[in-house]
Amino acid sequence: MIDLQKSKAAFEEARKFMPGGVNSPVRSYPHMGCPPPFIASAKGSHITDIDGNTYIDYVGSWGPMILGHAHPAVISAICKAAENSTSYGAPTLKETEIAELIHSVYPSIEKIRMVNSGTEATMSALRAARGYTGRDKILKFEGCYHGHGDSLLVKAGSGAATFGKPDSAGVTKGTAKDTLVTPYNDIPAFKAIMDAEGDEIAAVIVEPVAGNMGCVLPVPGFLEALREETAKHGTVLIFDEVMCGFRTSSHGAQSFYHIHPDMTCLGKIIGGGLPAAAYGGRKEIMACIAPDGSVYQAGTLSGNPLAVTAGIETIRQMMNIPDLDKKLAEKTSALLEGWKESADKAGVPLICHQSGSMFGIFFSEKDVLNYQDSCEANAAQFKAWFLSMLDQHVYLAPSPFETLFMSWAHTDEDIERSIVASRKAMEEAAKATTGVKDATVNFMTLKMNVEFEEGADAKAVMQDVLKNCKKVEDDCEIFL
């Protein structure tokens, strides 16, 4: 097994001073059975931990590092900007430059406001939509993550749609009550809720390509239905392209799918690896934002000169690479084809999804179209796959609900090494199937201890039981 002794000690020390030892929950490697590697450095397509292990990196800081880590032009631009100061809290020419640059890439963004995180971007966009429409309700899709703003930390309960209930402690029912939730990719369910509530809904917010239930693509007609229904009811359509922006294509998912949203949220790549995000859209909506309008939003570090500089340089470097989208997509396809071949050889059912240079896999026999499908994928096989790949120095996201990213820095050798590693990893995944004897099921407030016959697929049995329930008021989780 890979040596992570220094990382383990660092993790134990970090836990004394930070919740879970991390500053973002997924970094703690929950349920993976190993400590998270503590990172010392990264360059190009590789990342190195404090134990001296170097990995091929397909996390890419969760998306921003599309050029690869420590790109020389980006680092040079940041260093040069830092010589003048790290922050001013005042207007700069660079802010206008990045605004013009983003508008050239995303024409639907007629005016833009820089912020520091995707969470700020989405919650500010929703506030703008509410101010513009004079309505309170918003609609999101189950499994789409839009940051940790209170009104967005809800997910579906029973039925096709529901008034939101808090999905996190500390979020009041009053805050969540105006958030409606409906399944991703379910066009009839969406139309039904718009027919019933559309004239009261300020905004519909969606990841046009979902990246937080794994990488899940929109079915044909889904995004078109969102545009048609929101236009009919005077509802603001918000594309959260914090993750898929510049990834599905250089001009975003909205360009790829030919949908013109009212507002767009961006992040990750527009900061070049530094904290930066933005929201923007139609002029008349953005005119509501202070100081022009009455919707207040502000930030001490918004438009930070280092982050803006890194973003400008990253986007310009991307624009200077001929056929970047095509080449990144080809690299991603080659990797997934290799992984699928390894899975087939090992007898492991595998679904591969790709949207440009973002991608993901599901250990599932059926295609994954929504959050429920994603939840039904084989978590035990994912864990075995993940640990084997990590042991072979391939750095992946430690959760089946996260998305992976290709970078310009990944070489053919990186991809071939990752495919070779996948052969052993899929063999390990093949061993992690049935054979569960005991299971505990948490169903609302009921707990059942169930003993299964040897060889029975416990999770499948209990899922069949739940399918026979006529009404489910709460989310059901199956713990094996």
Task: Compute the residue count for the chain.
Answer: 480
Helix%, strand%, coil% for the chain, nearest 5: 40, 20, 40
- Catalytic annotation present for 268: yes
Choosing from 55, 145, 184, 371, the catalytic residue is 145
With H, G, I as helix, E, B as strand and everything else as coil, classify residue 251: coil
Q: What is the CA radius of gyration of the chain?
A: 23
Q: Count CB neighbours of 119 within 10 A.
A: 19
Which are the contacts of 280, defined by CB distance < 8 A and separation ≥ 6? 102, 106, 109, 110, 111, 112, 113, 263, 264, 266, 286
Choosing from 240, 325, 373, 414, the catalytic residue is 240
Distances (CA, A) of 25 to 1, 398, 399, 459: 24, 11, 11, 26
| HEC sequence for 290-320 | CCCCCECCCCCCCCCHHHHHHHHHHHHHHHC
At 442, the amino acid letter reads: N
Which are the contacts of 232, defined by CB distance < 8 A and separation ≥ 6? 194, 198
Token match 């169930």: residue? 450
At 169, the amino acid letter reads: A
Choosing from 268, 331, 340, 459, the catalytic residue is 268
Q: Which residues are catalytic?
A: 145, 240, 268
